[in-house]
Structure 1
Amino acid sequence: MILIDALYINNSGGKVLLDYLIEELEKTSKEIFYLLDERIQNENHSLKLKNKVTYLQASLFKRRKFYRENKNKFSAILCFGNLPPNIRTSAKVYTYFHQLLFLELPKEIPFISKKIYYIKTRVLNAFRKNTDYWIVQTDLVKEKLSKKYDIRENNILVMPFYPPFGMQINQNIRKEHQYIYVSNVTRHKNHLRLMDAFTKFYDQHKKGKLILTIPDHAADILNLINIKKDKGYPIENIGFIDRNALRKLYKESEYHIYPSLTESFGLGLVEAIENGCKVIGADLPYTYAVCKPSFVFNPLEVDSITEALSLSLQKNTINSESKVTNKIDTLISLLH
């Protein structure tokens, strides 16, 4: 039996990948045991009768108890939340690492968050010998992970995967000068600078529309959006949307602007290019690890973001190109 330990995954890009992984695993004949976060217990995962699922509170104590009770039960384990098992088991263990904040913290991160991530890195370091292999999404993350935790590069596998959008749909009419930013709302996602830059851009050119996907709980940023809208700036928040609506949004938008200060992968970059969007990206290594963007900017400088937006008004700008391929089948083949 194979264990998929995704106890710390419950939202955002990690949840998108987890849902896709479960969907693909359920197409195989493998016998699977899923360990999932209780916060997603009400979601419908269509599992085969022979496969099992347990929902737990995402705590180190409960996870350790689970592994102590089941340490010799599984032939292979995929830990999908950056953290290897709390204890050494008899299984072949793979740990999927997709959180760059365990490797480096932007200066923008609040002091409390820095302390929390410092503790998390100490925990990860304590558990790192409980996994046989690490799986990452880019060579950039492989290099940083190897260096920070003194892990042999031969034990780090690069296997990006992401859910395709499925069957082609009729091409929407692409709206000129429509900019989107598909992202959650944590501090390093850099929404405030983006909105300041867009308002300066709009003051200069009276063109463009910015669409954001801010969740309902982010009251401060939602209030700022409303203030800017009341002043006549075309900034729209559509909140969380499903995959079908997201694809339609990509298809009708000209640019995906991505000012995040750090990413392990940047799923939105890959999805945007797959659906014909051009990328205006942060001039940071994570951007170049997954794509060749149409324009870049310094994400710490509002004027630089404004300048990139202004350059995008040119005619016949170059298309963006993806550098990654979906390796979900290779990943699944490891688990036996």
Structure 2
Amino acid sequence: MNIPKKLFLHAPNVHVGGGLNLLQAFYGAAESSIDFEQLDVRAKAGLKAGRAERHWVRPTLFSRLAAEWRLRNRVKAGDAVLCFHGLVPLFPLKGQVTVFLQNRILLSSDSLKSYPIKTRVRLWGERLMLKAFARRIEKFVVQTPSMAEQVRGFLGEQTPVVVCPFVLAEVDQADVSAEKIYDFVYVASAEPHKNHQKLIAAWCLLAEQGLHPSLALTVPFDTALSFQIEELKRTWNLNIFNLGQLSPGAVGALYDQSSALIYPSTTESLGLPLIEANARQLPIIAAELDYVRDIVEPVQTFDPSSRTSIARAVRRHLESDEPAQLIHGPEVFLREVMQ
């Protein structure tokens, strides 16, 4: 007699931001198909109860190791395992393993020096695990063609990769009657790759040039970045409003209150705010990077490593371009030297 294979959902460390939103969307569709699940305890409030055997994983080394060992002991030949957290299992499994890769940082050899030392060590170890154990994986699933290209560049051209983007089945309708309060909005957490530093530096440059466009941010209040934002606001009289971490419903309302989305992140597997803003027909000013053009057509783009480029894109969108630099003859240069 054939025994139906089981679906194991392994999602420790998925508890906030776009990862949690995607997990909620997937869970809504797959709840009746999941037989065994291991979820991050910090996501408890955001995930409804299902029929599956459920284990909560704490953000500790012991709890994560226990979850890996439990997975190793429970998975049988023919079972399907979905690693939603983007990492390969620590121990070999008898079933067919699919890894949903969402973190481009794991697929790069770029420096991690902008991250705290604890995060640096973790990411370094996860990169090594991915390289060492990738052969155990049946397939990797990613959300965009450029992400697939990066997977193959990091793990080898023969790596089995499937491009299968998904978001919530239904997108909330925009409130067309909402008052536009902010010129720009950036929905992002405080991680270094979200590139708030360059964005705020661009706003300081605009203030120096006499422009003060309004900008809404969603940086958690208890972070060093949030304190830095407040300090720079006072120093440069910036028209920036940090609203803290918001619920999905509040984010939707924030889009409706904003005239444009600005998106300077240096790396994304998908960029969910780009999709959400595009669904609301919000103009998008974004980094000129592959992940952006995988999913949207921005109205303006910029070099995310340059505050000048960001500021110029903002000015173009506001139809307030700065004049091009006047080019002088050598006589003017000589006069400048002799003054």
User: Can you list the C-alpha shifts for 1:195-251, whole angstroms capped at 9, x where unaligned?
Assistant: 121132244354420100010221x32223223433532100001111111111112
Q: Distance in 2 between matches of 1:205 and 1:106?
A: 36
Larger Rg: 2
Aligned to 1:222: 226
Partner amino acid, structure 2, of 1:102? L
d(CA) in 2 for partners of 1:228, 1:5: 41
Taking structure 1 as the reference length, the TM-score comes to 0.84
Matched, 1:311 2:312: no
Q: Which residue is equivalent to 1:52?
A: 53
User: Per-residue displacement from partner, 1:278-321 (whole Å, max 9, x unpaired)?
Assistant: 11111122222222111111111111111011001139xxxxxx
The alignment status of 1:101 with 2:105, answered yes or no, reads yes
Give distance in 1, aligned partners of 2:148 and 2:310.
29
Secondary structure in 2 matching 1:140: helix
Q: Which residue of 1 aligns with 2:292?
A: 287
Higher strand share: 1
List per-residue Cα deviations over 1:94-127 (Å, max 9, x = no partner). Answer: 1100100011255574374555422211112222
Given residue 127 of structure 2, which amino acid in structure 1 is its aligned partner?
T
Q: How does 1:315-330 map to 2 (within 5 A)?
A: none
Give the counterpart of 2:145 among 135, 139, 144. Answer: 139
Q: 2: CA distance between counterparts of 1:205 and 1:96?
A: 46
* TM-score normalised per structure 2: 0.83
Q: Which amino acid aligns with 1:204?
A: Q
Alpha-carbon distance, 1:165 to partner = 5.3
Paired with 2:170 and 2:234, the residues of 1 have a C-alpha distance of 35
- Counting aligned pairs with the same residue, the percent is 25
Aligned equivalents of 2:301, 2:34: Cα separation in 1? 45
Question: 2:181 & 2:174 partners in 1: Cα distance?
Answer: 20
| Count of equivalent residues | 309
Could you tell me which residue of structure 1 aligns to residue 8 of structure 2?
3
Equivalence map 1:196-215=2 (5 Å): 196-215=201-220
Provide the secondary structure at the position in 2 that maps to 1:175.
coil
Looking at structure 2, the residues matched to 288 and 44 of structure 1 have their Cα atoms a distance apart, in angstroms, of 31
Aligned to 1:36: 39
Distance 1:260 1:156, change over 3 A: same
CA distance in 2, matches of 1:216, 1:271: 23
Most deviating of 73-82 and 165-174: 165-174
CA RMSD of aligned residues (A): 2.3
> 2-side partners of 1:44 and 1:208: how far apart?
35
- Number of the residue aligned with 2:333: none
* 2-structure distance, mates of 1:269, 1:167: 14
* Cα offset, 1:90, TM superposition: 3.0
Letter in 2 for 1:145: V
Q: Distance in 2 between matches of 1:285 and 1:273?
A: 17
Letter aligned with residue 168 of structure 1: Q
Q: State the alpha-carbon separation in 2 of the partners of residues 228 and 104 from structure 1.
A: 32
Q: CA deviation at 1:169?
A: 4.9
Q: Any unmatched runs of 5+ in structure 1?
A: 316-336
What corresponds to 2:154 in structure 1? 148
